[in-house]
Amino acid sequence: MEKFISFTERATPLYPNYRPMYKVSQILMVLYYNGFAGKASLLKLHLFSWGLKSTENLDTLKTFVTSNFKNKLHFFGIESTLNRALNLAYAEKLIDFKNGSYSLLEKGRNFAESIDKDDSLFISEKQVLKLIGKKIPEKVINNLVNQWNNV
Amino acid sequence: MFRIRALKINIATNKGTYGTPLIKFEDGLTIIKGFNSTGKSTLFQSILYCLGLEELIGGKNEKTMQSVLKSEILDNDSNIEANVIESNVLLEIEGTRTVTIRRYINSEAKSSGLVEVFDGKLLTEPNSYDYQPMYVHDKGAATDDNIFGFHSFLEKFIGWNLPNVQYKDGGQRKLYLQNIFPSFIIEQKAGWTDFLSTIPYYSLLDKETRAVEFILNLDSWKIQQLKSQLKQEKNEIIENWKTLYLRLKALANQIACEVRGVEISPSIIDSKNAIFLSYPTEDKNYPLADYIKILEEEYQSIAILEIPNVGEQSSESEQKINFLNERLSTLSINLSNRINKKNLAISKYKSFKERLIELENDKMQNEYHLKVKNKGAEAGFEIAKDTCPYCSQGLNDSLLPKDIEIVPMQIEENIEYLKAQINLIKIYIKNHENDIAVSEKEIEILNQNISETRSEIRTLKTELTSDNRLPSIEMIEKRIKLRNRLDLYRRRYEELFSYQEEFKNLSDEWTRILGREKEIPASLSPFDYKKIGSLEQDFKLLLKEFHYRSKPIESISISRETLLPVVDKYSLKFDSSASDFTRAIWSYIIALKETSTKFSGNHPKLFILDEPGQQEAGDNDLQFLLKKLGNYQDTQSIVFSSFHQSEETFIACTQNVNYKLVDLGTEKFIKRIEN
């Protein structure tokens, strides 16, 4: 007599960081709070995306900025999910891509503003992003990346 | 009682003074008749505005008012005739006494949140009356401790005492006046769309029901209040019980005993003696009283022995030292085992704690995601609906590349999953906390045993090296220690009595509260049922009188839960034609008044109805309504209507009706006033 074992595929829990709307909201917040004139390079977005991944990362990023970039930031991660989220946001006409930098479009800005107004959303994230503000010039990020290249 | 006695609108413009003549209102029915855009609505709204009730029209302060009072006055051909500089409304009202209210709509000097209350009949008997400024829509304007709160004043003026009710945020606050008035003042746009439909939203649970409860003065809110009071008393007992229990437990710990007969939460105790302390030994647990007896016997058996000399004792002492040394090493091994066990539990406990923080953080992020996703869906984002904006294919709510073949949980499911994890971790943490506490107690006992054993060995050793003729220190010390121990246990045993007493008192109080809780009706008292029965009867009679036909009258009832009319548990609204529903609203508001009058409830015996002949309710039936209102001697009814701009309709509707007429005519009612 033959016997069969059957498997049922169960849904897997997923980190919010891998969810489209979550990541897209983060991108919009970063552009809104931290982009010069609502603009930021891909690397800058990666830096912040890495920062928003955990409280430790966010702390490191915060000290990096508050120490006037004297504290070493050895490494920040690059992840493909951010690129996918950027594509989605672009297709949704929330952001634009021109001359190597991303910027907020009307629809995206409105959404970022509504997140800004909602006191129950991204409480600590917003606090730190606002504190960091527009204090990270693209040059600092480029320097960081150059250091890696030279190692 | 509450009455509108007189109304006057004043408008200062660049072309001189405009306004209405003085309009007086008596008891009984007053019909305010006027063509469309003569200013009927302006009059109606002015009354609400003066009472600080403009939220019933949908908004706060001057923005709810019509432009004639705010910006410009139009002539009959809709051309601008004059620009408004300042405007106000005066309203003379009668309650426990008569006062006159003035509120500004457009003014440089006076805020629209300000209401001036003149202490007298300023309109009907002009004189110099003193006045007091009060505030509306201000935080605290409705609370008792604010003497300048207009609504707090108005509440007392009408002779009401509004109850505290439960709001959705869990707080208990006063019911607002705005919550009550829609049961007898009905505005033409939203007012005829549902029962009590113009109650503003104050995050109040079942707002319509609260209003009806108050109008009929039901016991149900008193029951609610009693319930929450009992709940508070219960919490107090739970708190006191816990404190007492912890104190008793600390006392028990001092003498290595355990508490029996009571737990940390309150219970019903039959007799004081059910509470006792128990002394655990390896083979048996002794109630404290028994253990004290054992100690007493032991002490007596030692006390009768003669104290031997050291010399006589020496070989025995050596044996004892060996025995005690062995015991000491066993105890030490046990101790180190226990300490290891405890440290292991602590390190696990710490890692669970960290995991809990991670999970809670994770849960928060997931909740953020759910929120932004909903926000995005509201804003019409494709991503938020799980569709790819490029190809309209499903996104699976995941950013992972397509070749990773997993099915991610839906976000709600994900949150539930995390909640389950959090609960599990919390249980682990709790278990480990217990384990740690148990280990700590064991360690303490072992330490105590070790130090006792050591001290005994020391004593014996000292003895062996001392003069042979001296009396044995060991025996003396043993006697003294036992004596002390016995004293300590006796003292604690005596303390126990006061605990028994206190626990018994708390338990009796607890039993009393549980009993009272059982006595309270679920929500309505028998008297309430009687009132609602009467409301239902009155309501159905009126439906018949007004020729309601959408449903057989027998199938209609008043819900005992919501206190609103229903057919088979569903609102009457869904089963009625538009005109029939208007009739149902007439019937309901009149039935409320009649029932309230019958049982001396809180209805102020006042109706202000704006265009009750909505939805072609039928001129015939409108006549029934007017007749009904006209026949109430003790009630003031003010009805605004255009009567379809036809004199014939007006005559038909007012046939055999007792009323006084305020005719606004066919042209603009607000006119230039010649000085």
Task: Show residues of chain A in contact with B420, CB under 8 Å.
Answer: none
What is the chain B residue with the closest CA to A13?
Answer: B409
Mean pLDDT in residue range B447-466: 86
Query: What CATH number was assigned to the domain covering residues B1-160+637-675?
Result: 3.40.50
pLDDT tens for residues B15-69?
888 888 899 999 999 999 988 878 888 899 999 999 999 888 877 777 778 878 8
Give the residue from A7, A10, A14 with the most B CB atoms within 10 Å of its CB, the best one to mutate: A14
Give the residue from A7, A9, A19, A111 with the most B CB atoms within 10 Å of its CB, the best one to mutate: A19
Interface residue B437 vs chain A (CB under 8 A): no
Read off the pLDDT band of B203 (50, 70, 90).
confident
Cβ contact, residue pair B418, A13, below 8 Å: yes
Read off the pLDDT band of A53 (50, 70, 90).
confident
pLDDT tens for residues B518-555?
888 777 888 888 999 999 999 999 999 888 888 888 88
A74, with CB counted inside 10 A (0-12, 13-18, 19+), is exposed
Give the residue from B365, B366, B372, B410 with the most A CB atoms within 10 Å of its CB, the best one to mutate: B372
Helix axes A42-51, A55-66, angle to 10 degrees: 120
Read off the pLDDT band of B389 (50, 70, 90).
confident
For residue B374, which of B415, B434, B427, B424 has the smallest C-alpha distance? B415
For residue A17, which of A76, A90, A91, A80 has the smallest C-alpha distance? A80
- pLDDT number for residue B139: 59
What is the chain A residue with the closest CA to B418?
Answer: A13
CA atoms of B119 and B133, how far apart (whole Å): 11
Interface residue B623 vs chain A (CB under 8 A): no
Interface residue B363 vs chain A (CB under 8 A): no
Read off the pLDDT band of B208 (50, 70, 90).
confident
Cβ contact, residue pair A21, B369, below 8 Å: yes
- pLDDT number for residue B339: 93
Q: Give the one of B375, B388, B411 whose C-beta lies nearest to A114's C-beta.
A: B375
Read off the pLDDT band of B605 (50, 70, 90).
very high
Q: Residue B672: phi, psi to the nearest 5?
A: -70, 135
| Touching A: B residues 124-183, CB under 8 Å | none
- pLDDT number for residue B141: 56
CA atoms of B414 and B397, how far apart (whole Å): 12
% helix / strand / coil in chain A, to the nearest 5? 60, 10, 35
Does pLDDT of B268 surpass 60?
yes
B57-61, B354-358, B477-481, B546-550: least confidently modelled range:
B57-61
Put simply, whether the predicted model's pTM sits higher than 0.80 gets the answer no
Interface residue B599 vs chain A (CB under 8 A): no
What is the chain B residue with the closest CA to A52?
Answer: B365
Mean pLDDT in residue range B92-102: 93
B548, with CB counted inside 10 A (0-12, 13-18, 19+), is buried
Interface residue B366 vs chain A (CB under 8 A): yes
What count of CB pairs under 8 Å joins A to B?
104
Task: Show residues of chain A in contact with B416, CB under 8 Å.
Answer: none
Q: Give the one of A20, A111, A120 whose C-beta lies nearest to B379's C-beta.
A: A111
B157-171, B187-201, B301-315, B426-440: least confidently modelled range:
B301-315
Q: Give the one of B361, B395, B417 whose C-beta lies nearest to A20's C-beta.
A: B395
- pLDDT number for residue B29: 93
B385 to chain A nearest CA, in Å?
10
Does pLDDT of B448 surpass 70?
yes
* Average pLDDT over all residues of chain B: 86
CA atoms of B256 and B258, how far apart (whole Å): 7
Task: Show residues of chain A in contact with B376, CB under 8 Å.
Answer: 21, 24-25, 111
CA atoms of B55 and B60, how far apart (whole Å): 6
CB B216 within 8 A of CB B601: yes
Does pLDDT of A29 surpass 90?
yes
A116 to chain B nearest CA, in Å?
12
Cβ contact, residue pair A13, B365, below 8 Å: no
Q: Give the one of B381, B384, B414 whose C-beta lies nearest to A14's C-beta.
A: B414
Does pLDDT of B188 surpass 60?
yes
Tokens of B637: 């009814």
Domain ranges of chain B: 1-160+637-675
3-state secondary structure string, B279-323?
Answer: EECCCCEEEHHHHHHHHHHHHHHHHCCCCCEHHHHHHHHHHHHHH
What is the chain A residue with the closest CA to B412?
Answer: A13
Cβ contact, residue pair A13, B417, below 8 Å: yes
User: H or E element: which one contains A4?
Assistant: none
The number of beta carbons lying within 10 Å of the beta carbon of residue B312 is 12
* Average pLDDT over all residues of chain A: 85
Cβ contact, residue pair A14, B398, below 8 Å: yes
* Residue written as token pair 């005829």: B192
CA atoms of B492 and B528, how far apart (whole Å): 55
pLDDT tens for residues B614-642?
656 566 788 888 998 999 988 999 999 98
B194-203, B243-252, B284-293, B390-399: least confidently modelled range:
B390-399
B131-145, B239-253, B290-304: least confidently modelled range:
B131-145
Cβ contact, residue pair A13, B369, below 8 Å: no
Mean pLDDT in residue range B551-574: 85
Interface residue B389 vs chain A (CB under 8 A): yes
Q: Give the one of B375, B399, B409 whose C-beta lies nearest to A13's C-beta.
A: B409
Cβ contact, residue pair A16, B371, below 8 Å: no
Cβ contact, residue pair B399, A15, below 8 Å: no
Beta strand B3-13 with B16-19 is antiparallel
CA atoms of B216 and B313, how far apart (whole Å): 94
- pLDDT number for residue B310: 65
Share of chain B above pLDDT 70, in %: 96
Does pLDDT of B320 surpass 90?
no
Mean pLDDT in residue range B121-138: 88
Interface residue B396 vs chain A (CB under 8 A): no
Q: Give the one of B369, B389, B410 whose C-beta lies nearest to A22's C-beta.
A: B369
Cβ contact, residue pair A55, B362, below 8 Å: no
Interface of A with B (CB under 8 A): 9-25, 55, 80-81, 84-85, 87-89, 91-92, 94, 107, 110-111, 114-115, 118, 120-122
Q: Give the one of B368, B410, B411 whose C-beta lies nearest to A121's C-beta.
A: B368
Q: Give the one of B366, B390, B417 whose C-beta lies nearest to A91's C-beta.
A: B390
Task: Show residues of chain B in contact with A12, CB under 8 Å.
Answer: 406-409
Q: Give the one of A20, A84, A94 whose C-beta lies nearest to B397's C-beta.
A: A20
> Alpha-carbon Rg of chain A, whole angstroms?
18
Mean pLDDT in residue range B381-405: 77
- pLDDT number for residue A67: 82
Q: Give the one of B389, B397, B414 whose C-beta lies nearest to A92's C-beta.
A: B389
